[in-house]
């Protein structure tokens, strides 16, 4: 087999993975949806091989799991997992904010401000996924300033694992125009970073993640997800 023939299925798997991931995160494939290889291959117009590889990667990312007699299924949301994931996020992200705010440059603070403006625009337009993308970009700038790539990698992995929970929380807040929780903490975090206020940045992140946990819990309770 030529190298080009080996590479082609991998490139297709990347495209299928991105398509399925987006469909899961935006709710087109809700929790409990079965991912049947042949059906998905027909829908995306590929052979089964790239779809199998994409599903395997979705399992690794925590978005899909295997159920007896059903195969690959989009994972549901549980209060237990929510608490566990957000507890770990607090441990890592409070420290990342503390370290990052001590070392961040003025230029990076301006980059955070630019992402904040894009985030507020997404809120005004009611676009949940772009809101989360800009929120994570803003936080990544601060966390990268800490100078620990492994810390940022671990945090990004947790973001991916809990993206479905974040969507639930963001949608709930967007449904309440008076709710400022989607932007208030980021505003305070930028202010703390500009002042190199490590204690303040850590406190903002702690409060933000605790608030997010409570909001998502309330939404899951309302939806009957347990």
Whole-number pLDDT of residue 7: 41
Q: Which long-range contacts (CB under 8 A, 24 or more apart) does 74-77 make?
A: 74/24, 74/29, 74/30, 74/31, 74/32, 74/33, 74/35, 75/31, 75/164, 76/31, 76/32, 76/225, 77/31, 77/164, 77/165, 77/168, 77/220, 77/225
Whole-model pTM: value is 0.77
Q: Where are the domains of the chain?
A: 3-74, 79-223
* Sheet strands (E) in the chain: 64-67, 71-74
| pLDDT for res 6 | 44
Per-residue model confidence (pLDDT) at position 223: 67
Tokens of 98: 């503390």
Q: How far is residue 139's CA from residue 134's CA, in Å, rounded to a whole number?
A: 9
Mean pLDDT by 10 residues, the chain (226 residues): 45 88 80 91 90 90 84 86 94 98 98 98 91 96 98 93 84 83 96 98 97 90 64
pLDDT score recorded for residue 9: 55
pLDDT attached to residue 148: 97
pLDDT at 206: 97
Does 1.10.10.10 match the CATH number of domain 3-74? yes
Options 3.90.226.10, 3.90.79.10, 3.30.110.40, 1.20.120.530; which CATH number does 79-223 get?
1.20.120.530
- CA torsion 187-190-195-199 (nearest 10°) is 80
The tokens of 28 are what? 């087109």
């Amino acid at each position: 087999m030529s190298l080009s023939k080996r590479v082609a299925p991998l490139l297709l798997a990347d495209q299928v993975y991105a398509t399925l991931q987006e469909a899961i995160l935006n709710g087109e494939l809700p929790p409990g949806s079965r991912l049947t290889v042949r059906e998905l291959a027909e829908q995306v117009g590929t052979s089964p091989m790239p779809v199998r590889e994409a599903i395997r990667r979705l399992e690794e990312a925590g978005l899909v799991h295997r159920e007896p007699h059903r195969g690959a299924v989009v994972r549901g949301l549980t209060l237990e997992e929510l608490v566990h994931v957000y507890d770990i996020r607090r441990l890592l992200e409070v420290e990342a904010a503390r370290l990052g705010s001590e070392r961040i440059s003025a230029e990076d603070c301006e980059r955070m401000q630019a992402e904040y403006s894009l985030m507020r625009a997404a809120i005004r337009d009611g676009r949940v996924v772009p809101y989360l993308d800009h929120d994570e970009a803003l936080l990544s700038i601060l966390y990268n300033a800490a100078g620990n790539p492994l810390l940022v990698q671990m945090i990004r992995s947790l973001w991916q694992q809990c993206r479905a929970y974040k969507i639930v929380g963001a949608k709930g807040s967007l449904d309440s125009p008076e709710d400022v929780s989607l932007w208030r903490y980021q505003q305070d975090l930028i202010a703390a970073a500009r002042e190199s206020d490590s204690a303040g940045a850590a406190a903002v992140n702690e409060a933000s993640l605790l608030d997010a946990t409570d909001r998502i819990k309330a939404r899951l309770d309302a939806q009957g997800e347990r």
